[in-house]
C-alpha cells in the first residue's frame, strides 16, 4: 500500500513520538553512557529486524525511520563520549565510542539474521 507523502510524514511523526518517549523511559531507568549504549543496541537490533522483515514500505517508515530513528541517539552518544573524555580521560572515551559502534553493528546484524531465520 502506498500512502501520500503527507500521510507518510504523519506516520513517521507518530513512530518518532513513540520512539522518543521510549528513549526517555529508558533514560529514566539507566544513566549516562549505559543508557546511550542500551538504546543504541536495542534500536539497532530493531532496525536490523525491520530492515530484513517482509513488511511494507509504510510500516518500514513508521518503525525504521520514525520509531528507531527517534529511539536511538547519536547526539547523546557524542555527549557521553565527550563527557567520558573530560571526566575519566581519552582512553575511557575511546572505549565508550568503540563499544557503542561495535554493539550497534552486532545488534543490527543480529536483528537482521533473526528475522531472516524466521521469515527466510
Count the Cβ atoms, other than its own, within 10 Å of residue 119.
10
Give the pLDDT confidence score for residue 1 in this predicted structure: 67
Give the pLDDT confidence score for residue 76 in this predicted structure: 86
Give per-residue pLDDT as tens, 25-77.
999 999 888 999 999 999 999 999 999 999 999 999 999 999 999 999 888 88
C-alpha cell at 28: 529514566
Higher per-residue confidence, 7 vs 33: 7
Compute the distance between CA of residue 47 and CA of residue 44 in angstroms, rounded to an integer.
5
Give the pLDDT confidence score for residue 74 in this predicted structure: 86
Mean pLDDT, residues 15-34 taken together: 94
Count the Cβ atoms, other than its own, within 10 Å of residue 23.
22
Give the pLDDT confidence score for residue 95 in this predicted structure: 94
Can you give the C-alpha Rg of the chain in angstroms?
16
Nearest to 33 by CA among 70, 98, 101, 81: 81
Please list the alpha-helical segments (H only) found in the chain.
5-29, 32-52, 57-60, 69-71, 74-88, 90-119
Amino acid at each position: 500500500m502506498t500512502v501520500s507523502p503527507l500521510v507518510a510524514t504523519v506516520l513517521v511523526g507518530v513512530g518518532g513520538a513513540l520512539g522518543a518517549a521510549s528513549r526517555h523511559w529508558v533514560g529514566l531507568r539507566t544513566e549516562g553512557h549505559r543508557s546511550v549504549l542500551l538504546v543504541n543496541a536495542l534500536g539497532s537490533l530493531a532496525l536490523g529486524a525491520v530492515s530484513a522483515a517482509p513488511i511494507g514500505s509504510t510500516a518500514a517508515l513508521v518503525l525504521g525511520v520514525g520509531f528507531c530513528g527517534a529511539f536511538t541517539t547519536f547526539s547523546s552518544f557524542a555527549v557521553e563520549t565527550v563527557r567520558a573524555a573530560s571526566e575519566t580521560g581519552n582512553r575511557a572515551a575511546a572505549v565508550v565510542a568503540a563499544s557503542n559502534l561495535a554493539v550497534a553493528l552486532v545488534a543490527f546484524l543480529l536483528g537482521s539474521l533473526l528475522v531472516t531465520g524466521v521469515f527466510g
